[in-house]
Structure formats: C-alpha cells, structure tokens
Amino acid sequence: MAHSGKKSIAPGEFIEADVDVALANDITAPLAIAEFKKSGFSHVFNKNKVVLVPDHFAPAKDLKSANQCKILANFAKEQKIKNYFEIGQMGIEHALLPEAGIVMPGDLIIGADSHTCTYGALGAYATGMGSTDLARAYIDGKCWLKVPASLKFIYKGKLNKWVGGKDLILYTIGQIGVDGALYKVMEFSGPVIRKLSMDDRFSMSNMAIEAGGRAGLIEPDQTTKKFVAKFKRKPKFYYSDPDAAYEKIYEWDVTDLEPLVACPHLPSNVKPVSSLKEIKVDQVVIGSCTNGRISDLRIAAALLKGKKAAAGVKLIVFPATQKIYLQAVKEGLAEIFVKAGGVFSTPTCGPCLGGHMGILTEGEVAIATTNRNFIGRMGSPKSFVYLSNPAVAAASAITGRITHPDKIKK
C-alpha cells in the first residue's frame, strides 16, 4: 500500500506502484535499454535507482558477451548511473546489492532476473520481471503488479548440525512442489527462522521462485536491523497484520531434518543426503547467489582443510562478491580451496546457468550449491545436477560421491 498510494489492496487486484530499485544484468539489461530508447525518452527516472550488474557472462567469455557488457557500460556513462559495477567492483547481483546497502527493508525492488526475490529476506518486496517491464520503470519509476495471495510457512524445533537455510527451502519446495506457491508470496516465519543468520535467510528467499513464488518474505527482526544498521539509508520496517489473511498456512517441526539434496531434474525432487551415497560426482560447485557468501565458504573450507578433492573431481569455488573474495583470501580460505585441488574464481554466475567456468558435458554429474537443476541447466541436456548446501558439496568433493558431512574425518 505504501508504494501504491492506496489505502487498501487485495489479492488479485492490479495496482501501479513506485519502484525503489530497478535492477538488470548483462543478459537482461540490453533488452530493457533498447526498449527504453525506442520509447523516445532521453533520461531514466532516477539515476540513483537504476542498478546495472554485469555478472552472468562476465568477465566476458566471448565477443557476444563482451558486446552485451559494453551496452551496460555505455548506458551507465550516458545516464550517469551511480550503481553500475564494472569488472573488479561487480559481484553476483543478488549478493552484491544487500552487501552494498542498495536494497533495504521496506523497498519495492524489481529486477530483470528471477532470483530478485532474494531481498525478501530483508523484509522488502522484491520480484523478478521481464526486460520490457523494466524499460517502463526506467521511464517513470513505476510498474504494474497483480497483488499476490500469501502463504505462511512456520518452522519449529531445532536445526541439526550441517542443516541451514538451504535445507529448509529445499524441504519446503519438496513438500509443496515447484508450482506450490505459483504467483504467491511465501512468508517464512517461526522460531527456527528467527535464529537464522542473514546469509541463511538470503538462501531461503533466493529460492522462493523455485516454488513459483513471486516473493519470499521474512519479517524484519533484530538480525535484520543489525545487518542494515551500517548503511546510511534509513530502512522502513513493515510487518504482517495480526489478522492477515493467508491462502494456506504450513507448520513443520524440522528437528529431525538432515541435510537435503535436490536430485535431477527438479528442485522439488528432494531426498536426504544419507540416501544418495552411491551417487558419484564429476564436478562440485560451491558459490552462486544462493550459497556464495562468506559463511558458506567458511563451512566448505572447514571440511576441505588439509584434504584433497577426489581424483577426477573438478572442484570450483566462486565467492559471490569481490568483498567476499578478499575476505576469503584474508582468512586463508582461498588457499585451502586451491590446496585441495580446486579452482578459486572471481565472482560470476557462469557455472550456475551453464554459461561458462564449469560447463557439464554429456553424462557428467555435478553437485552444486546453486538454485536450479533443470535439464541442461549447467550444460549438456544429458548431464545431471544435484543441489545441496555447502557442507554436503565440500564433503562430496572429498569422497567423489554425494556424502553426509559427518562422514568426513577431521
């Protein structure tokens, strides 16, 4: 309501809303820029609210991707856009924006990328849109929205060791399916959520789209407030009404939950890690906008320290931002990964979407801390992708099979 100017709104209603952040990357921004220029307008609505992050095929893997990135660079210069992140400053967009304080609680954020829902972890309404919708926002800072219904998820109990936000969202998707929250808001709540770190919360909200959700919201609390306190821009905290209407409420005790793995070829094909110990892996990817933050790298490094990746296993580690990259170097995590026989890469979305830096060929099997495992997601349509948390991925790199972290001896 705060962004629409209306006193009340209801699910199913179409509204026009004011945008706080309009985000795009090197795949989606060129389309939006082209449509904006066709419109005849010469200036974006607000040069400080447009965000351009070349991260999908950057550093440029070929001439086509270099040209895509050049379109962003030229537009940013022409429009004097403040939040344009060139090579060396960029990171994976959905980790970079919260880290830089560009997205805040209470914001309305639209992005030409489906995982824009990540910022719901801050208590912001963040959702993905098409490039033409983004072009419209460039013109007047507005977008139209169909108000979604809401689903509430309450998590109770106490999490076991090695279980975190990635496992909670995989469990959720496994329970409701990849269309279980189709065009709905997913609201994550309960005592387990309140104890989660911001990194784990980002992982959960990031994958709301894998259940079809328009947004993955977590009410702001002291953890949220501590995270945003260091930024100059003041947040606006919004909370669910006591009498809020939900289409459905799910309530689960997750005390007995063990680390989970999403098997090919859907994020909903979820199984306990202990049931997959016979699955051999050719590649392990640790990183992405889902699990490439410093806490994720610390978990993986703790298991890999003093050990080697199994023969024939390609271990690829890519931190989500340059700041995380430097922190990993400072803490000695990068050295651990390299000594384990891994590759420690600059931030990029490359392996996650099968773009570059880790393409799978026919018959290869990967376990990754990314967010999608559809057919052909990381390369060949005849390859296989399993999704897990960083601890399971690191343990699997050591043994060459999908492995519970408890099986790795210190």
- Nearest residue to 187 (alpha-carbon basis) of 251, 237, 94: 251
Whether 23 and 171 map to the same domain: the answer is: yes
Do both 119 and 265 map to the same domain? no
Summarize pLDDT for 265-313 with one digit per residue, the tens.
Answer: 999 999 999 999 999 999 999 999 999 999 999 999 999 999 999 999 9
User: Rounded CA gap, 117 and 350, in Å?
Assistant: 20
Domain edge (last residue) among 211, 235, 257: 257
Mean pLDDT along residues 154-168 = 97
pLDDT at 101: 96
CATH number assigned to the domain comprising residue 182 = 3.30.499.10
What confidence tens digit (pLDDT) does each residue in 96-151 have?
Answer: 999 999 999 999 999 999 999 999 999 999 999 999 999 999 999 999 999 999 99
Residues linked to residue 302 through DSSP beta bridges, in sequence order? none
- Place 171 in a pLDDT band, splitting at 50, 70 and 90: very high
pLDDT tier at 1, thresholds 50, 70, 90: low
The answer to whether residues 319 and 248 belong to one domain is no
Q: Which of 197, 225, 257 is the last residue of a domain?
A: 257
- Same domain flag for 212 and 265: no
User: What pLDDT, on a 0 to 100 scale, did the predictor assign at position 2?
Assistant: 82
Dist CA 408 CA 112 (whole Å):
40
Verify that 253 and 269 share a domain, yes or no: no
**Co-location of 14 and 69 in the same domain:** yes
The verdict on 276 and 230 lying in the same domain is: no
Q: How far apart are CA 320 and CA 303, in angstroms?
A: 20
90 and 211, same domain (yes or no): yes
**pLDDT at residue 16 is higher than 80:** yes
- The verdict on 134 and 266 lying in the same domain is no
Residues 197 and 88 in one domain: yes
Task: List the domain range (segments joined by +) for residue 363.
Answer: 260-407
Would you say residue 4 has pLDDT above 90?
no
Domain boundary among 242, 257, 272: 257
pLDDT digits (tens, 9 = 90+) for 52-81: 999 999 899 999 999 999 999 999 999 999
Q: Are residues 86 and 126 in the same domain?
A: yes
- In the chain, the number of structural domains is 2
Residue 229 has pLDDT above 70, yes or no: yes
Are 265 and 243 found together in one domain?
Answer: no
Q: Quick one: pLDDT band at residue 27, thresholds 50, 70, 90? A: very high
Long-range CB contacts (within 8 A, 24+) of 32-37:
32/112, 32/131, 32/132, 32/134, 32/135, 32/138, 33/71, 33/72, 33/75, 33/135, 34/135, 35/131, 35/132, 35/135, 36/135, 36/138, 36/139
